[in-house]
């Protein structure tokens, strides 16, 4: 069961120095179900389709089950089953201190929001903090993709720089 446990910390991103050497992949994701403690989403990631179930386990831990499915099925789910339009973002992969960081640069109605995530083996695991990692937002539900699909960043009335200053 532990292999399905996702332990993840999220940070706002400062500047663009992280872009050097980053590998990018486009992502679109829509939500088929959003409950208090569980979501079911469909995603295209590059040329792959993925169905994911995430369930809250408290703190920064979630159960996560992912299954590859045909991209055409994901697109049909977007148009037929998702209440909100899919989120659009580019995921950039960056290595820091031997660990993988995923930087999500949002597009469309979430344009202007850039967040970094790092997955850990346990909640207390230490890691090198890059200079571009700003304030932590792991415990702020506004920064979950499911929330952003309903209440896009463009409706918040604040810029990323203002968020960083506010949370700083």
Residues belonging to the active site: 31
**What Å distances lie between residue 67 and 93, 131, 167, CA to CA?**
21, 34, 36
Whose tokens are 């993988």? That residue is 100
158, two tokens: 């604040």
The backbone torsions φ and ψ at residue 134, rounded to the nearest 5 degrees and listed phi first, read: -90, -150
CA dihedral sign, ordered 8, 64, 148, 73: positive
């Amino acid at each position: 069961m532990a292999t399905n446990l996702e332990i993840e910390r999220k940070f706002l991103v400062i500047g663009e120095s992280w872009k050097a050497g980053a590998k990018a992949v486009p992502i679109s994701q829509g939500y088929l179900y959003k409950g208090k403690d569980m979501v079911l989403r469909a995603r295209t990631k590059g040329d792959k389709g993925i169905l994911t179930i995430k369930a809250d386990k408290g703190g920064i831990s979630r159960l996560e089950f992912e299954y590859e499915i045909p991209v055409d099925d994901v697109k049909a789910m977007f148009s037929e089953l998702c209440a909100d339009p899919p989120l659009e973002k580019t995921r950039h992969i960056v290595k820091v201190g031997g660990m993988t960081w995923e930087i999500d640069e949002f597009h469309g109605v979430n344009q202007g929001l850039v967040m970094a995530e790092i997955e850990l083996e346990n909640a207390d695991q230490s890691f090198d903090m890059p200079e571009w990692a700003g304030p932590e937002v792991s415990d702020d539900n506004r920064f979950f993709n499911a929330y952003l699909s309903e209440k896009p960043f463009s409706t918040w009335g604040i810029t990323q720089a203002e968020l960083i200053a506010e949370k700083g």
